[in-house]
Amino acid sequence: MAELRPPRLVLGSASPRRLELLAQIGITPHALRPADIDETPQRDEVARAYVRRMAVEKAQAIVLEEDEACLTADTTVAVGRRILGKPADRAEAAEFMRLMSGRRHVVLTSMALRFGDRLSVRVVETKVRMRSIDAAALENYLDMGDWQGKAGAYAIQGAAAAFIPWIEGSFSAVVGLPLSETAAMLAAIGIHSAPEGARP
């Protein structure tokens, strides 16, 4: 009987941060296949349901070969019931940062892993506190442009780290992919970290 080979992993994301995070735990996808879906929240949709739906819809939108599995993820920031996605412009980025200034918010990251007719989904919640940000510090931050393309207008591993004295939960989830939970999901379908020389 032939030995069962683990599936080839497709990362359904264009995020270089997620690729770097997977590399951190010794996993290199054999392909990158970003999903193109409508990421507009539904009316009255809460953040947890929204990120879960996004990850699942991305996973379902990707065309796979029989021996492929796809991993997709979505990260969003929530202040109360309000979902803070990627800011459309500088003014919206400033609005988001003022909203989070001096208070706690929640970062939710959902992962979906599809292989054959099996779909596994996890949602990881991390609490983040931002210190009060004065007008000069905010303008300086906006000038750097680090808010562009980031949920909630910031990346915890970027310039905004200067504003974040405390988190409770998964740092890697705030970056874009909770590594412990992702590794467990991948291991469940036979995908394990490999030494550098053994990677495809």
Say which CATH number the domain at 59 has.
Answer: 3.90.950.10
Contact 53, 47 (CB under 8 A): no
Is residue 170 a part of any domain in this protein? yes
Is 134 annotated as catalytic? no
Report the domain count for the chain.
Answer: 1
User: Could you say which of 36, 38, 67, 74 is catalytic?
Assistant: 74
Tell me, yes or no, whether 197 lies in a domain.
no
Q: Is residue 199 part of a domain?
A: no
Q: Which region among 3-7, 27-31, 172-176, 181-185 has the lowest average model confidence (pLDDT)?
A: 3-7
113 and 185 Cβ atoms separated by less than 8 Å: yes
Q: Rounded mean pLDDT of 89-118? A: 97
The tens digit of pLDDT for each residue in 13-57 reads 988 999 999 999 999 999 999 998 999 999 999 999 999 999 999
Is there a domain that residue 1 lies in? no
Answer whether residue 2 is part of any domain: no
Q: Classify residue 183 as exposed, middle or buried by CB count within 10 Å of its CB (0-12, 13-18, 19+).
A: middle
Would residue 138 count as lying in a domain?
A: yes
Taking CA atoms, 144 is separated from 119, 139, 148, in Å, by 39, 9, 10
Domain with 108 in it: 8-192
Would you say residue 3 lies in a domain? no
Cα distance between residue 171 and residue 173, in whole Å: 5
Is 58 inside a domain boundary? yes
pTM, two decimal places: 0.90
| Closest by Cα among 93, 80, 15, 72 to 186 | 72
